Amino acid sequence: MGITRKQEIIQIASRLFKERGYSAVSMRDIAQALDIKAASLYNHISGKQEILATLIIEVGEEFTSQMSQVMTASLNPIEKIEKVIEMHIDVTVNFPDNIATLNNDWMHLEGIALNRVVKMREDYEENFRKIIKLGISEGNIKSQHPEVILFSILSTLRTLYLWNEKRGKMDVNVLKKDMVSVLINGII
Amino acid sequence: MGITRKQEIIQIASRLFKERGYSAVSMRDIAQALDIKAASLYNHISGKQEILATLIIEVGEEFTSQMSQVMTASLNPIEKIEKVIEMHIDVTVNFPDNIATLNNDWMHLEGIALNRVVKMREDYEENFRKIIKLGISEGNIKSQHPEVILFSILSTLRTLYLWNEKRGKMDVNVLKKDMVSVLINGII
DNA sequence: GTCTATACCTAGATAGAC
DNA sequence: GTCTATCTAGGTATAGAC
């Protein structure tokens, strides 16, 4: 009961999309990496768009579900941010290629898949923003532009996937501890 | 004495590359945005590769030159990091489209242009790493994995270009002050 | 489930008229 | 400096044999 051929195609494709981007990878490239001909791919997927939509929505739903767990947990804002950072590191370790494609190629989605993903992203940001604003109003977070805080943390987390060579040598739990420390307490 | 047709082509192209990525933008797209035919582009540039190389190297050299000024300035490590943050915000304001392409499409460069850009990037990171390590050894920066600090700050700075809608409403000097504060002192 | 063959389209780029 | 016309290569996708 290994993975299906469809999952295999999506896995290989996401690795190629990460390296070269969706538009620069052809169906022939994907097929070649699987040692089959391009035409054979169409027995398992409807087209290139389906590959893109599947792998982006897979990781998008993971983020959505994890974020909603954080939102309903009984933690203070700082603790929630810590959880979000740790969660983001876990998802990056589990779906590094999907995240690259989500970040860089979401705009090549077509139809309702595009709308879904844009909405997921907005909801995710809005939840994060709520945590930060609550922390500011409670006096636990510096009274700074919440957008600057949101952007700084989120852009670091979103590009974690680029950091695999160095992270590979580092224990995930050490990385979490250090990341939380740097992003919350600063570097001084 | 306005800009040349070549500069105009590169300007339009960089905006399109930012929005859709290098591979998804055709020479016909670029031509259409200039209200001419694709064949006419070749009177001003040798091909699509030249457009890519020109706009990436332009901003790459800007970063390189600005970073070397910071390195030779008589400032302590924390002050140097502040300067790098401020510098990065300035370059982002001046070259937002070039930075998007540098970040996302550098791997589509061919020949020696690719080597040059990869080296520029490595040198830039290495300079930043030196500042952080010196700060740690002098006791002004937290004794944490320097790579985590480097990565956190750099990934925030590199994706600043994505943040144009909100930044547009914010004064550049306020943004610099807040960014320095968040990245150096944290959010608490 | 994979193949060959192919349809149809769009890509980057060039030639030569104006 | 821009045009039309065109070349060649490569793209996504389908039909039908095995």
Question: Does A39 fall in a domain?
Answer: no
Question: Does A115 fall in a domain?
Answer: yes
DSSP code per residue over chain A: ----HHHHHHHHHHHHHHHH-GGG--HHHHHHHTTS-HHHHTTT-S-HHHHHHHHHHHHHHHHHHHHHHHHHSS--HHHHHHHHHHHHHHHHHH-HHHHHHHHHHGGG--HHHHHHHHHHHHHHHHHHHHHHHHHHHTTSS-SS-HHHHHHHHHHHHHTGGGGHHHHHTS-HHHHHHHHHHHHHH---
User: B141 φ, ψ to 5°?
Assistant: -115, 140
Q: How big is the CA angle at B152 (ends A59 and A188), to the nearest 5 degrees?
A: 145
Q: Write out pLDDT tens, residues B10-32.
A: 999 999 999 999 999 999 999 99
Does B48 contact strand C, using a CB cutoff of 7 Å?
yes
Amino acid in the structure at residue A1: M
Residue A1 has pLDDT above 90, yes or no: no
Burial of A15 (0-12, 13-18, 19+ CB in 10 A): middle
Please tell me the predicted confidence (pLDDT) of residue B62: 98
Question: Does B68 fall in a domain?
Answer: yes
| Mean pLDDT, residues B76-96 | 98
pLDDT band at B156 (very low <50, low <70, confident <90, very high): very high
Please tell me the predicted confidence (pLDDT) of residue A10: 98
pLDDT band at A166 (very low <50, low <70, confident <90, very high): confident
Does B142 contact strand C, using a CB cutoff of 7 Å?
no
Residue whose C-alpha is closest to residue A89's, from B148, B76, B105, B15? B148
Residue A73 has pLDDT above 80, yes or no: yes
Count how many pairs of residues, chain A against chain B, have C-beta atoms within 8 Å.
Answer: 129
Question: Does B95 fall in a domain?
Answer: yes
Smallest CA–CA distance, residue B54 to chain A, in Å, is 20
What tokens does A107 get?
A: 């705009």
Amino acid in the structure at residue B104: N
Please tell me the predicted confidence (pLDDT) of residue A85: 98
Please tell me the predicted confidence (pLDDT) of residue B107: 98
Question: Does B20 fall in a domain?
Answer: no
Distance A26 CA to C3 C1' (A): 19
Please tell me the predicted confidence (pLDDT) of residue B1: 77
Question: Does B178 fall in a domain?
Answer: yes
pLDDT band at A30 (very low <50, low <70, confident <90, very high): very high
Please tell me the predicted confidence (pLDDT) of residue A150: 97
pLDDT band at A117 (very low <50, low <70, confident <90, very high): very high
Question: Does A106 fall in a domain?
Answer: yes
pLDDT band at A148 (very low <50, low <70, confident <90, very high): very high
Q: Give chain D positions with protein CB within 7 A.
A: 1-5, 10-16
What tokens does A165 get?
A: 């060579």
Domain tally, chain B: 1
Residue A64 has pLDDT above 80, yes or no: yes
Q: Which CATH number characterizes residue A134's domain? A: 1.10.357.10
Give the chain A residue whose CA is nearest to the CA of B140: A188
Q: Write out pLDDT tens, residues B99-147.
A: 999 999 999 999 999 999 999 999 999 999 999 999 999 999 999 899 9
Any chain B CB within 8 A of the CB of A177? no
Residue A130 to residue A138: CA distance in whole angstroms: 12
Does B37 contact strand D, using a CB cutoff of 7 Å?
yes
Residue A181 to residue A102: CA distance in whole angstroms: 27
Question: Does B170 fall in a domain?
Answer: yes
Please tell me the predicted confidence (pLDDT) of residue B168: 82
Residue A183 to residue A81: CA distance in whole angstroms: 10
Exposure string (b/e) for B129-146, b if CB count within 10 Å is 16 or more? eebbeebbeeeebbebbb
Interchain pair A188, B185: CB under 8 A: yes
Distance, CA of A51 to chain centre: 16
Question: Given B22, B145, B156, which is nearest A178 (Cβ)?
Answer: B145
What tokens does B5 get?
A: 């047709």
Please tell me the predicted confidence (pLDDT) of residue A167: 83
Distance B35 CA to D4 C1' (A): 16
Q: A96 and A54 in contact (C-beta within 8 Å)?
A: no
Torsion angle defined by CA atoms of residues B68, B148, B167 and A139, in that order, rounded to the nearest 10 degrees: -130
* Residue-number span of the structural domain to which B104 is assigned: 48-185
What tokens does A166 get?
A: 């160095």
Residue A166 to residue A187: CA distance in whole angstroms: 19
Q: Tell me chain A's radius of gyration from C-alpha atoms.
A: 19
Please tell me the predicted confidence (pLDDT) of residue B144: 84
Interchain pair B147, A141: CB under 8 A: no
Distance A140 CA to D1 C1' (A): 63
Average pLDDT, chain A: 97
Does A44 contact strand D, using a CB cutoff of 7 Å?
no
Residue A169 has pLDDT above 90, yes or no: no
Residue B52 has pLDDT above 80, yes or no: yes
